[in-house]
A and B are shown apart, each in its own frame.
Chain A
């Protein structure tokens, strides 16, 4: 048969055999979306991008909580009599077609007044008439066309966020003033005693003074504040000499023009602040589509259905869940609290929590932990604990999450700045003392000149430009860092701790080992045909991994939830499932997941599932073991221990059965012994460890979907590149050190002019930008050279 792909979503549509308008579709859902679009003249959607859509998911009942006005109120950005504005996060936004269709929402629902997409943030801001439609209808409409919004508890607790733009304003003010001051100060550079210059220079000077006021008091205020804070806590950070230099520049320049003894250094002053802010701006690379601050709130639901005593369904807020409540969890819904299963078939997917993608089957009466997703049909549960007290969410009450990680480290620049500041002050006082004896009129002049020229503009720029550039390069290689500080921390790492499931193992693949009597060919095809009918995840993966067989039509087929399946074909009878179901007493207790098979009531053997490790894992460990202490902390049992010891270098520590708190404590212990720990994890159960570690990296198969709070997000496909990324961070530190050397040379040249009392404004005006620009060029070239080695 000819291979066809779905016109809507691009998936394989060969076997589905659904077509409409001569176009193939993979499922009825995709076809329906196409029908909606073509009925509304919106088929341009498919012209902009080939197969841009997503299969709409079943949402019946999922958004009932949006009927609760209290919840809706919290989600709205603006709410008037008949106009409501809501900002929805839609993970599927990925191409120009998405923007186009979402901005044409009013064609599908005419009560929508406007919808504006922010592509970077993957959000759509919808303004609609609340008299004619409701938020629930809107969300259902979006879901029905494959753009299901992601509404979580996080939207609920956070107030209306204000976008932070002060840096752009400050940069704008400084740039504006810098340009104008340069323009006004230029005539005086050459000290030609021309008539008209003599006449107008006072006016020019006072204009420059006025321009520099907003720069000093607005643009530069962060440096003064930071310097003041640093001094108060007795730390000489890099902002101290900067603030000192800027203040001296401003005071001396003002004094010069007031006393009419010179033109001042307003050009250098505004230029200095402008370059520093450019550096700050460059370093502030943010990935708007990623979030590094997520906790359980970003994926817990807002509302849940409660079954009241009168057996009625009522949607309530998650925070209102009380112990003893009876809840209804629908298909694809998340379990927000620890509870006991009362009714229904529970297949829980804990992949958010543990990184394990296999679902777990639970029987009525079993305990369910918060964070799992129900996969198969509706279940009813009794609540054991409220949201904050559940097993998983309790982790967030740990103090680690309240600590500000960044402020607790001294940066390279600040550690240099301490000695630098002391040295500069010493030089200034010695030179002043010397001139006081020789020519006291020049003493003050020299003192201020030293502080001006020593203002560590180049030093302050080295780190932002190096880190900013590395940040961008790594971002292109799918290693997203939260901020520049992370690079410095990465370079200091000496211990690396890995989580197991989902981190060093891959979710997508698994390997199977068969252990027992060989099957006859008839039995093999019977087994394959039996598995075909089952939707259990283990059957699905076993089905995928078995060889292709002729599919036979079964005479009898029965599935027993939580036990296994049995089927009959002519005289052959097969049972697949748990050991007890197949008739094998469970004496061979293995720790791995197994599926047992018997035919005609004779036990044949078992399939054992093993984790499939990521490609290049043992290579990566062999490279890393030379420079780092390695350890694996797993929340799982010891089933994989033998496998791992074979695969990994012998010194690697392996620890199993680690609870989330254990992981955190393990890292804390090592840190107390002086180790700098890098934690690599993926699920919510690693969140504590990621927060406690010096650098926490979250591995993610799809960076848009979910990752716990961390310092960096690494795309899973780049896992084996980790050692190179660590090397890059070390090289970055070297580059910064070299650019410090370079800027010291500039400082020494400048200091020569300053100490000898011949610092003219024009010298400062040349030296300051020259040093800054050459540092920027140096770091840019170097970072590009070292990153060339990256694949």
Chain B
């Protein structure tokens, strides 16, 4: 039954790990602005499109 010590240790390590991750996330300002990132992540398509536009232009040249 001493396996329970191991299990307890694992559970605490996992819990504390997530807790630290949470603290770090708050500290880095993730919770300060909870709208802009949701829009920002949609922009990646636009950036690619822009690059492809450029390549088409150079081909024409």
Contacts and interface: CB of A to CB of B under 8 A. Distances in A.
Nearest to A99: B39
B23 to A, nearest CB: 7
Interface in A468-520: none
Contacts of B43: 96, 99-100, 103
A172 B53 contact: no
Contacts of A120: 33-36
Contacts of B49: 44
B46 A48 contact: yes
Interface string A85-104: 00000000000100110010
Contact of A200 (B4, B23, B27): B4
B6 interface: no
Contacts of A117: 36, 40
Contacts of B1: 196, 199
Given A118-B36, A203-B8, A169 B26 contact: yes
Contacts of A179: 15
B61 interface: no
Contacts of A165: 26-27, 31-32
A652 B19 CA distance: 60
A172 B35 contact: no
Contact of A172 (B8, B23, B50): B23
A99 B26 contact: no
B8 to A, nearest CB: 7
Interface string A146-175: 000000000000000001010011001100
Given A118-B33, A163-B32, A168 B26 contact: yes
A41 interface: yes
Interface centre among A119, A169, A203 (most CB of B within 10 A): A119
Interface in B3-61: 4, 8, 11-12, 15, 18-19, 22-23, 26-27, 29, 31-36, 39-40, 42-43, 46, 49-50, 53-54
B29 A163 contact: yes
Nearest to B1: A196
A42 B54 CA distance: 11
What is the predominant secondary structure among interface residues of chain B facing chain A? Answer: helix
Contact of B19 (A163, A168, A172, A199): A172
A225 interface: no
A770 interface: no
A176 interface: yes
Interface residues of A, number: 29
A44 B54 CA distance: 13
Contacts of B32: 118, 163, 165
A99 B36 contact: yes
A119 B32 CA distance: 11
A41 B54 contact: yes
Nearest to B31: A168
B36 A41 contact: no
A119 B33 contact: yes
A330 to B, nearest CB: 34
A207 B7 CA distance: 14
B43 to A, nearest CB: 5
Interface in A106-144: 117-121
A177 to B, nearest CB: 9
A41 B53 contact: yes
A172 B46 contact: no
A121 B35 CA distance: 10
B19 to A, nearest CB: 5
A99 B54 CA distance: 22
Nearest to A123: B33
Contacts of A199: 1
A75 B55 CA distance: 41
A720 interface: no
Contacts of B27: 165
A376 interface: no
Nearest to A48: B46
A172 B15 CA distance: 12
A308 B11 CA distance: 73
A180 interface: yes
Given A172-B19, A176-B15, A100 B46 contact: yes
Interface in A198-227: 199-200, 203, 207
B11 to A, nearest CB: 8
A47 interface: yes
Contacts of A163: 29, 32
Interface centre among B18, B26, B29 (most CB of A within 10 A): B26
B50 A41 contact: yes
Contacts of A100: 43, 46
A172 B33 contact: no
12 contacts: A41-B50, A99-B43, A103-B40, A119-B35, A119-B39, A163-B32, A165-B26, A165-B27, A169-B26, A172-B23, A196-B4, A207-B8
Interface of B: 1, 4, 8, 11-12, 15, 18-19, 22-23, 26-27, 29, 31-36, 39-40, 42-43, 46, 49-50, 53-54
A-B pairs, 3 with minimum CB distance: A119-B36, A44-B46, A118-B33
Given A121-B33, A165-B27, 5 more contacts: A120-B33, A163-B29, A176-B15, A196-B4, A203-B8
